[in-house]
Amino acid sequence: MIRSFIKKYWKRYLLGILFLIGVDVFMLFPPKIIGNIVSNLEINPDLNTVGFYLLGIVGVAFGMFLCRFLWRIFIIGAANKFHYVTKKELFNHLLSLSSKYYDQTKTGDLMAKFTNDVNAIRGAMGPAVVMSVDAVFLTALTIISMGIFVNWDLTLIGIIPLPIITAITLYFGITIHKRFRKVQDSFGELTNSTEESISGIRLIKSYGIEDIRYKILEKKSNDYVSKYMSLIKIFGMLFPLIMTIATSTTVISTYFGGSQVILNKISLGDYITYTGYLGMIVWPMIELGWVVNIIQRGRASYNRIMDVLNSKSEIKTHDKSKISKLEGNIKFDNLSYSYPGSREAVLKNINFEIEGGSKVAFVGTTGSGKSTLGKLISRMYAVEDQKIYIDNTDVNSIDPEIIRNNVSFVPQETFLFSETIKNNIKFGKMEATFENVVKYARVSSIDEDIQSFPGKYDSLVGEKGVTLSGGQKQRIAIARALIMETPIIILDDCLSAVDTETEAKILSSLKDSNSRKTVIIISHRLKAVMDADIIFVLDNGEIIERGTHNQLISNNKLYKKIYERQMLEEKLEEEES
């Protein structure tokens, strides 16, 4: 990622480095000019000459100002561009990953990578580049100037600490890298815990467990502080150590320089020039410690970012079919499936065919694998070849994007965005007209509720739909799926929060308005699916019954037992009310 970015924007970095070197060159003049002024005043005082030298310092200052302005534009500008490109690439890559990745990855950790880690890499791509170039060129140019303009013996004394400082920074750099990686991992855990606590604040309050969540967050905060303090101790030791060595060398070098002046081996002006250059060379030595810290932080964060970018979706498409529009014929051919990382099969030897345009229901016991069927049809998880067919084409030969464009899937967990109701409904089809929005809101039996809101369809929905009831959220989610007008619609127990009558009304209007669409209903309430063309009954991952409602009732097996129990429960509820 960094290599490709530099390959594309190398001209920016090159120009920035050239202007940065220009600043370093300009910095060589003031010590020499001040030394000449002192020599002039010592030997033959001439105010006109002094004025000329001062004018030179002003010119140098202006040149430094211009070069500093330009290198900031090019290098820091490129670093900010990298910041933008990295976030964009990271987000695009996350969109391409399958459900398996999100099953195993915490949201807070991803947010930490989007914030702290990307910022740390930006530091390595900007300030670290500046400091590195500055340290190398300013040090080299200063040493050469000191040797030419003053004395090579004194110069060699002045550069004694350089190899010592280099060895120290390399040693500390390895430790900083390891500790910063731990800091970022801990920050991810803290961010995830904070995100969960804020998202679930209503649940926390309803259970009265504020103290428990506080202690959990406090523990993660203390862990983060502990790891960060461990990092600070190393960096806090590195900086003063380098500064001490650099300063002690200045004392020694000044002693020898003063001796040279006393012995008349160099002039007072040369001594002033020498001390000026020494002051300049101390900063790159100190800067080296900062560079190591920033680069090692950037390296640790870069590795964390690359962990995400190197993650690949296990959903592969081979022998890609040219099919672009699905008709809704679905076939499962002896499919058995286990979720990634699990040995237990969720589905076992599943065989069935669904004819396009029909209404099909999957019912059964809790945990029987009903929802998994919907996810596999939508290609949210990878399956073996020749196990699932859509329109007589192996699902692994159909691009996931084609499937998602032709399948509307409404999951059990409803998610709404902090947007208007109108925009939530047309989320997957933003070009949809307002008439279409209202049309499918009516099909989903939510229009009447929306009309009662002060802002109607322009009413803002709270975060994750918190301002709406569970049933309202579910019906808006159904309208959002229907407005896509896809040939296949999968409703995964998405009406659990509405009453039976409303559910039956929605499903009835759904069938009437989508007569040529394949409607797959996954539900635990049998009363709502009685009119399905075919009902599949699952238990422990297997299809144990199939047929129409009347046929299943006459079988006198699991379906009938569930149906009778639900009818009894409904009767008891009516008597109690």
Structure confidence at residue 46 as a pLDDT band (50, 70, 90): low
CA atoms of 71 and 74, how far apart (whole Å) = 5
Closest CA to 297 of 175, 390, 214: 175
Percent of the chain residues topping a pLDDT of 90: 2
Domains of the chain, with CATH numbers? 2-309 (1.20.1560.10), 330-576 (3.40.50.300)
Order across the sheet with 388-390: list the strands: 347-354, 330-337, 388-390, 393-394
Decide: 549 and 532 in contact? Cβ < 8 Å: yes
Query: Please, which pLDDT band fits residue 60 given cuts at 50, 70 and 90?
Result: confident
* Average pLDDT rounded to a whole number, residues 80-86: 88
Higher-confidence residue of 506 and 156: namely 156
Each residue of 392-424: pLDDT tens digit?
Answer: 888 888 888 888 888 888 887 778 887 888 888
Q: Enter the tokens of residue 548.
A: 């129409």
Element (H, E) at 487: none
Which is it for the CA torsion 423, 425, 428, 429, positive or negative? negative
Return d(Cα 31, Cα 360) in angstroms, integer. 87
Q: 490-538 pLDDT, tens per residue? A: 888 777 666 667 777 777 766 655 457 888 888 887 877 888 889 999 8
CA distance 393 to 383: 14
Share of the chain above pLDDT 70, in %: 92
Burial of 499 from C-beta contacts in 10 A (0-12 / 13-18 / 19+) = exposed
Residue 43: the pLDDT is 67
Pairing between β-strand 393-394 and β-strand 407-410 as defined by DSSP bridges:
unpaired
Residue 574 has pLDDT above 70, yes or no: no
Q: pLDDT tens across 266-317, in order? A: 777 777 777 777 777 767 766 666 777 788 778 888 888 888 888 888 788 8
The stretch 114-118 carries a mean pLDDT of 83
Q: What is the pLDDT of residues 348-400, one digit of tens each?
A: 898 998 888 888 989 888 888 888 888 888 888 888 888 899 988 888 888 88
Residue 576 clears pLDDT 70, i.e. is over it: no
At 464 the pLDDT is 67
Cα–Cα dist 524/188, whole Å: 38
Residue 577 has pLDDT above 70, yes or no: no
With contact defined as beta carbons under 8 Å apart, do 11 and 59 qualify? no
Question: What does the DSSP assignment read for 113-132?
Answer: IIIIIHHHHHHHHTHHHHHH
- Check: CB of residue 116 under 8 Å from CB of residue 191: no
User: What's the whole-model pTM score?
Assistant: 0.71
Residues 6+ apart with CB under 8 A from 68: 19, 23
Q: Is the pLDDT of residue 143 over 80?
A: yes
CB 480 within 8 A of CB 425: yes
Q: How confident is the model at residue 96 (pLDDT cuts 50, 70, 90)?
A: confident
Please give the mean pLDDT across all residues of the chain: 81
Question: In the structure encoding, which two tokens stand for residue 553, read together?
Answer: 């009732």
CA-CA distance, 559 to 573, in Å (whole number)? 21
159 by DSSP, 3-state: which? Answer: coil
Confidence class for position 15, pLDDT limits 50, 70, 90: very high
Question: Which pLDDT belongs to residue 268?
Answer: 76
